[in-house]
């Protein structure tokens, strides 16, 4: 998996141990129903134009790791008002999404793999990332 800062073409490479936890929760079609006084239903519906949530979580505690250096870069990027490109790089999945970090909850969560703070930029952390499709 790769995240690219579109404005500068900088890239952060992540391992394949992430699971898109809300991939099938989002519905592209929205509907509302209101009833007239006589009980006649008035149904309105439309297609959403974007803002699909993309939450990437570790598949389990032995996966979804990222180096401290990558986590720091992503943390910095999450404060920017920019779009990024998220690319899946699996044999069965090569989809790309233009995304922004989701700030309705924490856009990035990291925890220590070994239970102690890292001692180098190459030490790994468990990582959760939250985006909106742009």
Quick check: is 96 in a domain? yes
- CA 87 from chain center: how many Å? 11
- The pTM score is 0.86
pLDDT of residue 44: 95
pLDDT of residue 49: 87
Q: What is the arithmetic mean of pLDDT over 94-113?
A: 94
User: Domain range spanning residue 14?
Assistant: 2-25+49-133
Quick check: is 32 in a domain? no
pLDDT of residue 60: 84
Quick check: is 89 in a domain? yes
Average pLDDT over the chain reads: 93
pLDDT tens figures, 31-82: 999 999 999 999 999 998 889 999 999 988 888 899 999 999 999 999 999 9
Quick check: is 115 in a domain? yes
Quick check: is 92 in a domain? yes
Quick check: is 80 in a domain? yes
Quick check: is 42 in a domain? no
Quick check: is 40 in a domain? no
């Amino acid at each position: 998996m790769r995240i690219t800062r579109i404005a500068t073409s900088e890239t952060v490479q992540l391992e394949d141990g992430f699971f898109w936890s809300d991939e099938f929760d989002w519905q592209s079609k929205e509907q509302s129903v209101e009833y007239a006084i006589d009980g006649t239903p008035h149904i309105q519906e439309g297609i959403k134009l974007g803002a699909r949530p993309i939450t990437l979580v570790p598949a389990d505690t032995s996966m979804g790791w990222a180096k401290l250096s990558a986590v720091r870069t992503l943390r910095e990027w999450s404060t920017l008002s920019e779009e990024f490109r998220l690319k899946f790089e699996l044999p069965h999945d090569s989809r790309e999404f233009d995304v922004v970090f989701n700030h309705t909850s924490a856009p990035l969560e990291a925890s220590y793999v070994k239970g102690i703070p890292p001692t180098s930029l190459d030490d790994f952390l468990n990582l959760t990332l939250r985006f909106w499709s742009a």
